[in-house]
Amino acid sequence: MVVAIEPEEKAEHPIELVLARLLRLGSLVAAALLAVGIALMVLGQTVLAPKLITAGLLVLLGTPVLRVTAAAVIFVKERDWHFALFSLVVLCAVAAGIYFGKGM
């Protein structure tokens, strides 16, 4: 399947492509770790398998946070201060959620 993207359009929306690449990397690594972990579990490797699965889940968990961070960096680079600030607010709220959630 070939989807033609005009070059000027590519330059107009770089953020989508950067984020897409980041999310694809995150889901591929997570899927690979999960698949190997589950396969080992089925084969009876009960020590290593849960560790690999947990690693896969953690990679997946980190991906959205990394995605907001990457967006923030891109907005700062583009001097789009409004959206850089919005991304920062989101990051702080997520961090605070983790901090308070752990205490409960």
Partner 1 sequence: MVITFITIFAIGIAAGVVGAILGLGGGIIIVPALTLGFGMSMRTAVAASTVCIIATSTGAAVAFLRDRLTNTRVAIWLEMGTSLGALTGALVAALVNQRVLFVLFGLLLAYSAYNMFRTRKEHTRPEVVPDAISSKLRLGGSYYDKALGRRVEYQVTRTLPGLIIMYFSGAAAGLLGIGAGIFKVPAMDQVMGMPFKASSATSNFMIGVTAASGAVVYFARGDVKPLVAGPVVLGVLLGAILGARLMMRMPASKIRLFFMPILAYTAIEMIYKGVKWW
Which phi and psi (to 5°) does residue 30 adopt? -60, -45
Residue 78 to residue 12: CA distance in whole angstroms? 12
Query: Could you tell me how many residues of this chain bind partner 1 (CB under 8 A)?
Result: 49
* Other beta carbons within 10 Å of 41: 15
Residue 74 to residue 59: CA distance in whole angstroms? 22
Shortest Cβ 96–partner 1 spacing (Å)? 6
The one among 2, 8, 64, 73 contacting partner 1 by CB under 8 A: 64
The one among 8, 50, 78, 79 contacting partner 1 by CB under 8 A: 50
Identify the helix (H) or strand (E) that includes residue 80: none
User: Which residues are at the interface with partner 1 (CB under 8 A)?
Assistant: 3, 13, 15-17, 19-20, 23-24, 26-27, 30-31, 34-35, 37-38, 41-42, 50, 53-54, 56-58, 60-61, 63-65, 67-68, 71, 82-83, 86-87, 89-90, 93-98, 100-102, 104
